[in-house]
Amino acid sequence: MNKQAIVGVLGAGSMGAGIAQIAATQEHQVVLVDLNEQALASSEAKLKKILARLVEKEKIDEATSIAIIGRINFSSNINDFKSCGIVIEAIIENIDIKQQVFTQLEEIVSADCILASNTSSLSIASIASACEKSDRVIGIHFFNPAPLMPLVEIIPAVQTSEATKNTARALIDGWKKVTVLTKDTPGFIVNRVARPFYGEALKIYEEGIADFATIDWAMTELAGFRMGPFTLMDYIGNDINYTVTETVFAAFYYDPRYRPSFTQKRHSEAGWYGRKSGRGYFNYAEGATTPEPNKDEALGNEIANRIIVMLINEAVDALFLNIATKEDIDLAMTKGVNYPAGLLRWADEIGLEDILLRLEFLYAEYGDDRYRPSVLLRRMVRDEKTFYS
Ligand SMILES: NC(=O)c1ccc[n+]([C@@H]2O[C@H](COP(=O)([O-])OP(=O)(O)OC[C@H]3O[C@@H](n4cnc5c(N)ncnc54)[C@H](O)[C@@H]3O)[C@@H](O)[C@H]2O)c1
């Protein structure tokens, strides 16, 4: 697909507007459709503000900024997708609505138009099933904020043709994004492998081992993550993060590894969503003080090690089940959520035997399947192998 191809984006919310900005910056004509006129107006205003800031910072010049906004046709008429080479859907996360929309899209676009979904948690196969020509449907999952985060997960459904997969991936690679190929399974790569970052942190808190501030301190200062789990959940929003956890848990047939937490559920029920509501695990009201962590290194290391081995176990299991290649699993976590290192490379550095021992200790101590080591980890330790030579 070349630069002449018109890119359609459905949904002018935070993701849709960001995707439209990327495509227009890459010199495509873009049609950005939203049924809500207010959402359209607000996305146009926001985009102009972002571009003005880029001009101010001398990242682009004035002429480029005018050209980018000029390439986007803000529209409330879905029929304007008629001449698009690809339409990327970024509307509300609801399978019934997405299916209806995909059926409708197929009636508007040409026979060779690719139809993509930016869904975070729904199955691409079920979205594709709403189309007659389901082999043209694919998942193209951007991360928030889309113009800044380099990673894009490419998710072919069982119905997706090789041609659709190759064209879609080449297009997004051409937009200077880092693409990884992943199986159409719950959470794809990032939202699956990252679960323990939140879940194990919450469990450590619930057991009374440490408070939010201490766990965040351990994960940033000792483990090198950019944000601690509680600061990050407050940033994402506890309502959203909880829903993703619950969706992934149900989608994995209630595997205890993904069991949600009452602490997060209650925070969400209380309206303590995080930054956007002024209060989450931390208080964001003006003048509120940030709690001091307990900077006990032994305690910090215990916390960090426990979360890291759980993350590594998840990454190993994703590799075991052929969700993606080892390179793509590592790229996904460093480029999609800024992890300080790829988890499989990190596993080699720590030593697989050491990781297995720690997991086996937790498994024996808790008697909970949540801590069962991945079969691949056991095999690799038995065969004295590493992920990278
Ligand atoms: N927000 C994130 O961090 C994030 C990250 C990756 C993927 N996603 C996924 O991207 C999608 C959009 O998320 P978002 O955060 O941008 O949502 P959002 O609520 O900010 O925006 C959704 C937009 O879609 C519009 N819309 C809803 N139904 C529509 C319809 N039938 N036709 C046209 N427009 C319609 C709404 O008016 C709204 O402007 C979801 O599938 C979500 O799971 C979100």
Domain at 226, CATH number: 1.10.1040.50
pLDDT at residue number 240? 87
Residue 161 shares a structural domain with residue 244:
no
**Which residue, by CA, sits nearest to atom 20 of ligand 1?**
13
How confident is the model over 205-242, as pLDDT tens digits? 999 999 999 999 999 999 999 999 999 999 989 998 99
Answer yes or no: is 186 within a domain: no
Cα→Cα distances 96→103, 212, 262, Å:
11, 37, 28
Residue 212 shares a structural domain with residue 146:
no
Residue 66 shares a structural domain with residue 92:
yes
Q: What is the mean predicted confidence (pLDDT) over 130-142?
A: 98
pLDDT at residue number 93? 87
Mean pLDDT of the chain: 96
pLDDT at residue number 73? 97
Give me the residue label for tokens 């889309």.
146
Answer yes or no: is 341 within a domain: yes
3-state DSSP helix/strand/coil percent for the chain, to nearest 5?
Answer: 55, 10, 35
Residue 23 shares a structural domain with residue 78:
yes
pLDDT at residue number 138? 98
Residue 128 shares a structural domain with residue 227:
no
Rounded to the nearest whole angstrom, what is the distance from the C-alpha of residue 47 to the centroid of ligand 1? 16
Residue 231 shares a structural domain with residue 124:
no
pLDDT at residue number 162? 98
Residue 61: CB atoms within 10 A of its CB come to 11
Cα→Cα distances 71→31, 44, 48, 352, Å:
8, 12, 13, 51
Residue 48: CB atoms within 10 A of its CB come to 13
Rounded to the nearest whole angstrom, what is the distance from the C-alpha of residue 16 to the centroid of ligand 1? 7
Ligand 1 lined by 310 (C-beta under 6 Å): no
Determine the straight-line distance between the first and last CA of the chain, rounded to whole angstroms: 37
Ligand 1 lined by 96 (C-beta under 6 Å): no
pLDDT at residue number 78? 97
Return the exposure string of 93-127: e unless at least 16 CB atoms fall within 10 Å of the residue's CB, then b: beeeebbebbeebbebbeeebbbbbbbbbbbbbeb
Rounded Cα gap, residues 253 and 139, in angstroms: 22
pLDDT at residue number 361? 97
In the chain, what percentage of residues exceed pLDDT 90? 94
Rounded to the nearest whole angstrom, what is the distance from the C-alpha of residue 21 to the centroid of ligand 1? 15
Cis peptide bond N-terminal to 145, omega within 30: yes
Relative to beta strand 137-142, strand 6-10 is: unpaired
In Å, the largest CA–CA distance within the chain is 64
How many domains does the structure of the chain reveal? 2
Candidates 117, 118, 120, 261; catalytic one: 120
Ligand 1 lined by 97 (C-beta under 6 Å): yes
Torsion of CA 71, 74, 77, 79, to 10 degrees: 10
pTM of the model: 0.94
pLDDT over 90 at 2, yes or no: no
Per-residue DSSP letter, 209: S
DSSP conformation letters of 345-386: HHHHHH-HHHHHHHHHHHHHHH--GGGPPPHHHHHHHHTT--
Answer yes or no: is 388 within a domain: no
How confident is the model over 282-331, as pLDDT tens digits? 999 999 988 999 999 999 999 999 999 999 999 999 999 999 999 999 99
Ligand 1 lined by 15 (C-beta under 6 Å): yes
Rounded Cα gap, residues 17 and 345, in angstroms: 35
Q: What is the mean predicted confidence (pLDDT) over 258-263?
A: 96
How confident is the model over 80-125, as pLDDT tens digits? 999 999 999 999 989 999 999 999 999 999 999 999 999 988 999 9
Instruction: State the residue range of the domain holding 329.
Output: 192-382
Rounded to the nearest whole angstrom, what is the distance from the C-alpha of residue 254 to the centroid of ligand 1? 27
CATH number of the domain where residue 62 is located: 3.40.50.720
How confident is the model over 326-367, as pLDDT tens digits? 999 999 999 999 999 999 999 999 999 999 999 999 999 999
pLDDT over 90 at 3, yes or no: no
Residue 312 shares a structural domain with residue 344:
yes
Residue 218 shares a structural domain with residue 367:
yes
Q: Closest by alpha carbon to 347, among 321, 303, 381?
A: 381
Active site residue 191: yes
Q: Is 43 left (phi over 0), alpha (psi -120 to 50) or beta?
A: alpha
Active site residue 238: no
Going by pLDDT thresholds of 50, 70 and 90, the confidence category of residue 16 is: very high
Going by pLDDT thresholds of 50, 70 and 90, the confidence category of residue 4 is: confident
